[in-house]
Amino acid sequence: MNGKRLGIRDIARLAGVAPATVSRVLNGQKLVSEETRRRVEEVIRTLDYVPDATARALSVRQTKTIGTVVPTVDNAFYASGISAAQKYLAANGYTLLLATSDYDPELEFEQVRNLVGRKVDALILRGADHSPVLLQFLAGHGVPWVAVGSYSPQSPFPSVGIDNHAAGFRACTHLIDLGHRRIGLLGARTGNNDRARGRVRGAKDALAGAGLPLPEHWVFEVGAGLDDARQTAKALLAEPARPTAVVCTTDLIAFGVVLECARSGLSIPESLSVIGIGDLEWSRHIQPALTTISIPTKEVWRRACDFLVHSLAGGNVCQHFECGFELTVRETTASPAIARSA
C-alpha cells in the first residue's frame, strides 16, 4: 500500500490531533470527545492501522502475553491443556507464548530464561517440582507463575490441579475393591515430576493400607511416548508370575498395556485388569474402553490462566485450587474371579 509502516503519528496527523489523543481512543479512554473519537477511528479504519504492541509493551511494562513450557505438545494430554489455555487467554486479550522442553530440565530453564527476556507477564509451568535456581531466577526477576497439574497447598507458589496422591490411591483402591490381590504398578518417570511421584505413592499407600505386597518386579518405570509404554507392557507380560491387575500412572501407559495385550492375544479384563489416570479422548474409543481416573485437564489449565489473569489485574485470588477427579469405570477392569471362570 504505502511506503513505510504506519505509526500513531501518521494517524494523528491525518486526523488533525495529537498522538496522545490517538493513543487515548486506541485505549478506549473516556476522556475524548465523541466527535474527535469518531474522526480518529475513521482514519484508523480506512488505513487499516494496527498499533505496535511491542512499543506499547515497552511503555506500559506489560506484554499481555503468558508463557508456558511443557515437555512437548505432541501428546494428547499437553495438547489438550495448551489448547484450553490458548483459548482462554485469547478471550482475555492475552497471547500464549509456547516453548517445549522435551522433558529436559536444562532446556526448560533455557526456555524460561528466553520467555522472561521476552517479558511475558507470567508463566505457567508443569508441576511444582523445579530446581532452586530456577525458582530463584523467577523470584529475582519478579515473574509470577503458577504450577499446573498438581494441587500443592503446602507450596509457597500458586498451584492448580488435582491431588495426585489421591488419584493414585483411588485408582489402586478400585482394583483392590474388585478383589485383586496381585497388583502391579506402571509409573511415569518420577524424577523432576511431582505428579508422577504423587500418583505412584498414592497407589503404593493403597496397597500398603490393604496389606498387599508389591514385589520389585511388578513395578516399572516407563518413558514418555506410546512406544515406550508398549515396550514396558511387553516386559510385564513376559513376567512368569504376572499380577492380575495393573495401575498405570497415565492413560498413555495404559494404552500401551491394552495394545500389547491385544497383540499377544491376552484378553482384558479377563486375564488382566488395567486402569489408567487421565481420561484422554482415546480412552473411551479404544477397545476395550479404558477404565480410568478422569482428570478435567482443560479446566485445570483454564483455571491456571484464570488465576494469572485475575492476579495480574490486581485481584486477590486464592493461591491454590484443587480440581476434582473421578473414577470412570469402563471395560478394562473386572473382578479376578472372571479370570477363573473364563
Partner DNA sequence: CTGAAAGCGCTTACAG
53 binds a copy of itself (CB under 8 A): yes
Spacing of C-alpha 214 from chain mean position: 30
247 binds DNA (CB under 7 A): no
Q: How far is the CB of 326 from DNA (least distance, A)?
A: 45
Interface pattern 222-261 for a copy of itself (x via CB under 8 A):
----x----------------------------x---x--
Q: Which is nearer to a copy of itself, 82 or 147 (CB)?
A: 82
Q: Which is nearer to DNA, 16 or 209 (CB)?
A: 16
Q: What is the CA radius of gyration of the chain?
A: 26
13 binds DNA (CB under 7 A): no
Beta bridge partners of 294: 278, 326
Tell me if residue 336 falls in helix, strand or coil: coil
Q: Which is nearer to a copy of itself, 114 or 190 (CB)?
A: 114
Q: Which is nearer to DNA, 52 or 177 (CB)?
A: 52
Label residues 210-243 b or e (16+ Cβ within 10 Å = b): eebebeeebbbebebeeebbbbbbeebbeeeebb
Strands (DSSP E) found in the chain: 65-70, 95-100, 122-126, 145-150, 159-162, 183-188, 219-222, 245-248, 273-278, 291-294, 320-322, 326-328
Confirm if 271 and 104 have CB atoms less than 8 A apart.
no
Q: Given the rule CB under 7 A, which of 21-29, 149-157, 275-283, 326-334 is the region that contacts DNA?
A: 21-29
- How many whole angstroms separate alpha carbon 118 and alpha carbon 112? 10
Q: How far is the CB of 328 from a copy of itself (least distance, A)?
A: 17
* Residues at the contact surface with a copy of itself, assessed by CB under 8 A: 1, 5, 48, 50-55, 57-58, 63, 65, 72-76, 79-80, 82-83, 86-87, 90, 95-100, 102, 111, 113-119, 137, 139-142, 226, 255, 259, 262, 281-282, 285, 287
